[in-house]
Amino acid sequence: MIKKLGLVAAAAALMVMTGSCQNKDGPTDVPGFAAIDGEYLKTGGDGSNWAMTGFSYNEQRHSPLTQINADNVKDLGIAWFADLPDARGQEATPVVVDGKMFVSTAWSKVLAFDAKTGKPLWSFDPEVDKARGVKACCDVVNRGVAFWKGSVFVGTIDGRLISLDASTGKQLWSAQTLDPKSNGTITGVPRVVKDKVVIGFGGAEFGARGYVTAYDADTGKQVWRFYTTPNPKGEPDGAASDEILKTSAIKTWSAKPKKGDWRESGGGGTVWDAIVYDAELDQLYLGVGNGNPWNHGVRSNGEGDNLFLSSIVALKPDTGEYVWHYQETPAESWDYTATQPIILATEKRDGKDVKVLYHAPKNGFFFTIDRVSGKMLSADPFIDGITWAKGYDLKTGRPIENPEARYEKTGKLYLANPSPLGAHNWHPMSYNPATGLVYIPALYIGGAYMPPAAPNEQERKPLGFNTGGAMATADLPDDVNFVKAVKAAITGKLVAFDPRTGKAKWTVDHPASWNGGTMTTAGNLVFQGTAMGEFRAYAADSGKQLLNLNVQSGVLSGASTYMVDGEQYVAFLTSKGGAFPLVIGYAGATSSAIPNIPRLIVLKLGGKVALPALPETPPYVWDPPAKFGTAADIAAGQSNFQRYCLVCHGPGAVGNGVLPDLRKSAAIADAGTWKSVVIDGVLKGNGMVSFAAVLTPKEADQVRAYVVTRAHYGKEHDAALVGGGKPAR
Ligand code: CA
């Protein structure tokens, strides 16, 4: 008996030491915390865990689980849900290891749950300075955590990379990856490769010089850094990128200094999302962002390709040393980032197995790239009606551009598809090896580019977007029919793209834009949430819709799936937020009446939990203050609104359901209150910092005069403009 007890104790001790957990009720042996290492992430395991954001190093977001499949997916219902702390965009893919779920939320917070019951285990708040929110181009989102040998890693809006103990949520170390005075923000997922945590950041619009940094996973000590644009002073950085920037990249930037050019801005090239490890070739791929300013004429005097903007760059993960690159959009001038998710696969081409990389960036073309050589093998449109290029020359790897797209050269307004929001943004895409299809959450959002019309639009400013173009083009004219037409044209599509044919095998039209990411399984399924508050499943091979669950709020994120005690679950987040609602605003989105509910929802077969009823919202009663100011005041206010306010508070000051609708704000009625917010910064704790650095008190009050006119216009026309007269929430 004593001997037996001893054995039990030894087994228990072993369990604690290895973190291994034998699953007595289920068919799977769930690997524990300590088992999640480079070997495990090569495959992602048997599907019991969803141990990293893209499932495994290949980032196919494909699970081998089949318990939920095309035959029974209609029986999915809610197993449990948890409301999240902030009504801002929720973009994370839930990570699940050994029955525990780790989710990052707005303001870089991390929450841990029992993945079967939803019981909260711990939470971590990095206490980000909320004033930083004004530097977050695309909302204070976070796209997820990394898990490695019992640690959880998260990047923060204020530029820290933090290691947490996965069992307790206690901070193990924190590394400051960004100068606190810089414009950068971290929203992307850290990746862990060979005991190094790699992280980039975003913020090119504000002025930044992109880089990624690798830190020791145990200590947080920096191992290497790679810059994506040349040093503005022409000096070495003492970084892994020094050699390639000196021998190659610098020649692709204008040598002639120009006011507001890349030397002042840093050039952009931030790596804010895709960082993907190729375990077969031991290479790390970076998806590099757009230039700053956007306007290539201002940024680089209209000269050169500007490496490594809008490129996929391959590095050696041990040292950060350059291996190869492919630039998707040379001389980028449209915010066409290459930061979008990257998928690694092996494809049969001409009877041979070819190691390929799949990429569907903002510019609308689907790229297949040879991972060994970096050669682009094919580039085919994954949306219709691309205006900036006819296609690609496969010999040179360069786009065949439409000259009209170079607004910086023509000096004319250029109506574009895709827009700066892209034909595909950060939303995860997935790949199913059984169908050979890539499931892309594609966007149809037209846009307009215009060179700066007034000095106010060209000059670099310490706050707000610096695009070197006219942001006025983001405003919609006050024509109800025009606005309705624009709304109807802003849509989404789920594209099941076949890289072997360069065409979609099947597509699903979505009435609204900014739908969720996709996830696919061996159960012949593709999952996608929509902006219209639905969570859907389709047959992966045919596209037949098999599930359409009402989840009340929009879905931006990608789902994950996992198994606990023999039962398969599907998890995802709901919310509105992110770049689209902020930039497009209430009037521009078909989904504008869908509520913004930040929530984690977990489904299982036969799940019976009901979501709480939506609160009743009484119709808004318009009571705008009297108009004031001269026509010149209002015009000046409009210009400054477009430059500094529009990207957060919406075109035409029409609220977006995420940040306050200024037309309905009490502050517009009182000059003193308005000044205290806009000039004195009393709401900086909410992310609304002082704009005194760029606006005089008089200019701020002109903005108020403009917003008051917008409130009067809203009183007259909102019902028709927003459709159904439903108030923004
Ligand atoms: Ca950008």
| pLDDT tens digits, one per residue of 496-548 | 999 999 999 999 999 988 999 999 999 999 999 999 999 999 999 999 999 99
**290 CA → ligand 1 middle, Å:** 5
**486 CA → ligand 1 middle, Å:** 22
Tens of pLDDT, residues 240-270:
999 999 999 999 999 999 989 999 999 999 9
DSSP letter for 194, please.
Answer: T
Q: Beta strands 518-521 and 62-63: pairing type?
A: parallel
CA–CA separation, 428 vs 424, rounded Å? Answer: 9
Q: How confident is the model at residue 12 (pLDDT cuts 50, 70, 90)?
A: very low
Nearest one of 288, 311, 306 to 296, comparing CA atoms: 306
**494 CA → ligand 1 middle, Å:** 23
Q: Determine whether the annotation assigns residue 519 to a binding site.
A: no
| Residues 657-675, mean pLDDT to the nearest whole number | 88
Residue 4: per-residue pLDDT = 36
Q: Determine whether the annotation assigns residue 203 to a binding site.
A: yes
| Residues 105-115, mean pLDDT to the nearest whole number | 97
Q: What's the distance, CA 160 to chain centroid? A: 18
Tens of pLDDT, residues 193-206:
999 999 999 998 88
**337 CA → ligand 1 middle, Å:** 6
Domain boundaries, the chain: 631-721
CA–CA separation, 705 vs 634, rounded Å? Answer: 6
Torsion angle of the four alpha carbons 444, 445, 450, 455, in this order, in degrees rounded to the nearest 10: -150
| Residues 92-109, mean pLDDT to the nearest whole number | 97
CA–CA separation, 600 vs 359, rounded Å? Answer: 28
Inform me whether the pLDDT recorded for 28 exceeds 70. no
Beta strands in 413-533 (DSSP E): 414-416, 430-432, 437-444, 447-449, 491-498, 503-510, 518-521, 525-529
Q: Determine whether the annotation assigns residue 510 to a binding site.
A: no
Name the CATH superfamily for 631-721.
Cytochrome c-like domain (1.10.760.10)
CA–CA separation, 724 vs 729, rounded Å? Answer: 14
Per DSSP, the three-state class of 81 is strand
297-330 exposure pattern, b = at least 16 Cβ within 10 A, e = fewer: bbbbbbbbbbbbbbbbbbbebeebebbbbbbbbb
Higher pLDDT, 643 or 236: 236
**432 CA → ligand 1 middle, Å:** 29
Higher pLDDT, 510 or 661: 510
What values do phi and psi take at 649, rounded to 5?
A: -105, 5
Q: Determine whether the annotation assigns residue 574 to a binding site.
A: no
Tens of pLDDT, residues 156-180:
999 999 999 999 999 999 999 999 8
Q: How confident is the model at residue 73 (pLDDT cuts 50, 70, 90)?
A: very high
Tens of pLDDT, residues 373-393:
999 999 999 999 999 999 999
**385 CA → ligand 1 middle, Å:** 22
CA distances in angstroms from 57 to 41, 79, 97, 564, listed in the order given: 6, 29, 16, 22
Q: How confident is the model at residue 658 (pLDDT cuts 50, 70, 90)?
A: confident
Q: In this structure, are residues 193 and 278 in contact, taking their beta carbons and an 8 Å threshold?
A: no
Residue 467: per-residue pLDDT = 83
**231 CA → ligand 1 middle, Å:** 20
**555 CA → ligand 1 middle, Å:** 22
**398 CA → ligand 1 middle, Å:** 21
Placement of tokens 């994370």 in the chain: 92
Higher pLDDT, 456 or 216: 216
Q: Determine whether the annotation assigns residue 187 to a binding site.
A: yes
Residue 11: per-residue pLDDT = 36
Tens of pLDDT, residues 683-700:
888 778 888 988 999 999
CA–CA separation, 627 vs 405, rounded Å? Answer: 39
Residue 584: per-residue pLDDT = 64
CA–CA separation, 725 vs 236, rounded Å? Answer: 58
Q: What's the distance, CA 295 to chain centroid? A: 22
**392 CA → ligand 1 middle, Å:** 23
CA distances in angstroms from 359 to 287, 380, 583, listed in the order given: 9, 11, 25
Nearest one of 569, 490, 494 to 528, comparing CA atoms: 494
Q: Determine whether the annotation assigns residue 426 to a binding site.
A: yes
Residues 6+ apart with CB under 8 A from 562: 47, 48, 49, 50, 63, 65, 96, 115, 568, 569, 571
| Residues 599-607, mean pLDDT to the nearest whole number | 98
Q: In this structure, are residues 669 and 707 in contact, taking their beta carbons and an 8 Å threshold?
A: no
Inform me whether the pLDDT recorded for 107 exceeds 80. yes
What string of H, E and C letters represents the secondary structure of 126-155? Answer: CCCCHHHHHHCCCCCCCCCCEEECCEEEEE
CA–CA separation, 514 vs 50, rounded Å? Answer: 24
- Find residue 152's DSSP bridge partners: 147, 164
Q: Determine whether the annotation assigns residue 127 to a binding site.
A: no
* Tokens encoding 688: 């609304």
Residue 571: per-residue pLDDT = 98
**639 CA → ligand 1 middle, Å:** 21
Q: In this structure, are residues 128 and 157 in contact, taking their beta carbons and an 8 Å threshold?
A: yes
Residue 90: per-residue pLDDT = 95
* pTM of the full structure: 0.90
Q: Determine whether the annotation assigns residue 467 to a binding site.
A: no
Tens of pLDDT, residues 475-495:
666 677 777 777 778 899 999
Residue 19: per-residue pLDDT = 36
Type of residue numbered 87? A
**648 CA → ligand 1 middle, Å:** 14
Q: How confident is the model at residue 722 (pLDDT cuts 50, 70, 90)?
A: low
Inform me whether the pLDDT recorded for 274 exceeds 80. yes
Tens of pLDDT, residues 302-348:
999 999 999 999 999 999 999 999 999 999 999 999 999 999 999 99
Inform me whether the pLDDT recorded for 620 exceeds 90. no
- Find residue 355's DSSP bridge partners: 346
**289 CA → ligand 1 middle, Å:** 6
Q: Determine whether the annotation assigns residue 648 to a binding site.
A: yes
Q: Determine whether the annotation assigns residue 205 to a binding site.
A: yes
Q: Which contiguous run of DSSP H or E holds residue 342?
A: strand 342-349
**252 CA → ligand 1 middle, Å:** 20
**293 CA → ligand 1 middle, Å:** 10
Residues marked as catalytic: 335
Q: In this structure, are residues 227 and 267 in contact, taking their beta carbons and an 8 Å threshold?
A: no
What values do phi and psi take at 280, rounded to 5?
A: -70, -40
Average model confidence (pLDDT) across the chain = 90
CA–CA separation, 632 vs 711, rounded Å? Answer: 18
Nearest one of 639, 655, 626 to 718, comparing CA atoms: 655
Question: Please, what is the Cα angle at 572 between 570 and 578, to 5 degrees?
Answer: 160
* Burial degree of 344 (CB within 10 A; 0-12, 13-18, 19+): buried
CA–CA separation, 446 vs 222, rounded Å? Answer: 42
| Residues 583-608, mean pLDDT to the nearest whole number | 83
Residue 468: per-residue pLDDT = 80
